[in-house]
Amino acid sequence: MTEVRHNWTQDEIAEIYHSPLLDLVYRAATIHRENKDYSEVQISSLISIKTGGCPEDCAYCPQAARYNTGVDVHAIMPKEQVLAAAQKAKNGGASRLCMGAAWREVRDNRDFDKVIEMVQAVNSLDMEVCCTLGMLTESQAQRLADAGLYAYNHNLDTSEDDYKRIITTRTYDDRLQTLEHVRKAKISVCSGGIIGLGETEADRISMLKTLSNLPKHPESVPINALVPVKGTPLADQPRVSVWEMVRMIATARIVMPKTVVRLSAGRTEMTTLEQAFCFMAGANSIFAGEKLLTTPNPSFDDDMAMFELLGLTPRKAFKNGRPNIPKELKEMSINEVI
Ligand code: SAM
Ligand code: DTB
Ligand code: SF4
């Protein structure tokens, strides 16, 4: 059995990342196949519960208020609409709903109260609930956990050194601190990054080093290909090649052997064959549903046809237990929650 390590060096990861492509994929696939459920793929569906108008300056993001990207600003979505989207996602095969907000950080206000109610409501559909809301304090993470939050997504995006080139309105340490707060509240950690931002391969390797040397590996690591959006500073970045995605996924699989590695943004640009290579290299999760947060994604039907072709099956919700289900929710029916 492959050992789970937390002391990877930059050189060790670089050696893996730069190994001949087929050797790399073979090694990653071998490790992946030690997991008896290697043909199961975890499906998350995204919903943007608060879109646009974000004060941050993330150079890739269509939702930053300072760029002219044509994304309309919306106030927080009503719970009923979130529940309808969750049900649709569940019908489409998703076991997890991830609710995203274009916030720098969570504030202790009415909007956060509404998010708490959404978390409780989606829980009653027997789906894993995930949020990505920006920075969290320890007590906010605990409040989400008490509401039954299953996972929290908070990406490192790139290496520590490269971070200031991409975002100046917060620090890498801010990011790491939120991850600590999430961990402390016993919420499953989802943290990964983006390739194609203009980073070097050393930056990619360094980001994987930070993730794989955390005291506990994130339960999920999304690997996004930049979706270049007109109006953002990175609009003219060339698309990353699929082989770079494959290298990144395979390396993540090798250094974090038990982690769910998500083939995330960028799938609309990939053929089924290219995605199959990513699954072979150890990817075992996707975002499904025709929209990510603001940009397009393959439809549930197309993904189900791909799963059938490749012999993949969607992973059931709560396979690894359910630490944060609040007692009072256990007995509640959906009508009571709404
Ligand atoms: N505002 C919160 C935050 O930044 O943590 C949550 C939402 S934010 C949109 C979630 C993640 O989406 C970012 O950390 C980034 O990794 C990813 N993302 C945003 N725009 C993207 C793009 N154009 N291409 C690929 N990934 C993107
Ligand atoms: C993640 O790693 N990728 C998702 C999710 N976590 C929140 C977001 C991708 C966003 C792509 C651009 C958009 O649709 O706005
Ligand atoms: Fe705001 Fe998140 Fe987009 Fe950055 S990535 S601009 S914090 S929504």
> Would residue 130 show up in a list of annotated catalytic residues for this protein?
yes
The model's pLDDT over 194-214, given as tens digits with 9 standing for 90+, comes to 999 999 999 999 999 999 999
Strand pairing class (188-190; 151-153): parallel
Give bridge partners of residue 263 from the DSSP assignment.
223, 286
Sorted by where each begins, the domain ranges of the chain are 10-316
Q: In this predicted structure, what is the pLDDT of residue 39?
A: 95
Is 131 known as a binding-site position?
no
Q: Which fold has domain 10-316?
A: TIM Barrel (3.20.20)
Count Cβ atoms within 10 A of the Cβ of residue 15 and give its class: 0-12 exposed, 13-18 middle, 19 or more buried.
exposed
What tokens does 11 get? 């050189």
Q: What is the mean pLDDT of residues 85-100?
A: 96
Pocket residues: Cβ below 6 A from ligand 2: 46, 62, 100, 132, 153, 155, 192, 222, 224, 227, 264-265, 292-295
Annotation marks residue 131 as catalytic: no
What's the rounded Cα separation, in Å, for the pair 276 and 283? Answer: 9
Ligand approaching nearest to the C-alpha of 157:
1
State residue 1's pLDDT score.
Answer: 79
**Does residue 88 have a pLDDT over 80?**
yes
Q: Is 278 a catalytic residue?
A: no
Q: Give the start-end residues of each E strand in 51-156.
A: 96-101, 128-132, 151-153
The answer to whether residue 99 scores a pLDDT higher than 50 is yes
pLDDT of the residue at 320: 78
Say whether 124 sits in a helix, a strand or coil.
Answer: coil
CA of 20 from ligand 3 middle (Å) equals 36
Q: How much distance in Å is there from the Cα of 328 to the middle of ligand 2?
A: 32
Give the end-to-end CA distance of the chain in Å, rounded to a whole number. Answer: 46
Nearest-angstrom CA–CA distance, 28 and 251: 7
Q: Determine which residue's CA is closest to atom 3 belonging to ligand 3.
A: 61
Distance CA 320, CA 187 (A): 12
Q: How confident is the model at residue 16 (pLDDT cuts 50, 70, 90)?
A: very high
Q: Span 226-248, mean pLDDT?
A: 97
Percent of the chain with pLDDT over 90: 93
In this prediction, residue 2 carries a pLDDT of: 86
pLDDT in tens, 146-163: 999 999 999 999 999 999
Q: What is the pLDDT of residues 312-337, one digit of tens each?
A: 999 999 887 877 776 556 555 444 54
Per the CB < 8 A criterion, the answer to whether 192 and 264 are in contact is yes
Helix (H, G, I), strand (E, B) or coil at 226: coil
134 lines ligand 3 (CB under 6 A): yes
Closest by Cα among 57, 55, 56, 52 to 75:
52
Q: Measured between alpha carbons, how far is 195 from 200 in angstroms, rounded to an integer?
A: 9
**Letter string b/e over residues 189-227, b meaning 16 or more CB atoms within 10 A of that residue's CB:** bbbbbbbbbbbeeebbbbbbbbbbebeebbbbbbbbbbb
Does the pLDDT value for residue 128 go beyond 50?
Answer: yes
Amino acid 183: pLDDT: 98
pLDDT at 338 over 50: no
- How many residues would you count in the chain? 338
What's the chain's average pLDDT? Answer: 95
Q: What is the rounded CA–CA span in Å between residue 122 and residue 215? A: 30
Ligand approaching nearest to the C-alpha of 295: 2
Distance 280 CA to ligand 3 centre (A): 31
Query: Are 266 and 257 in contact, with CB atoms under 8 Å apart?
Result: no
- DSSP classification of residue 259: S
- H-run or E-run covering 310: helix 300-310
Average pLDDT over residues 286-311: 97
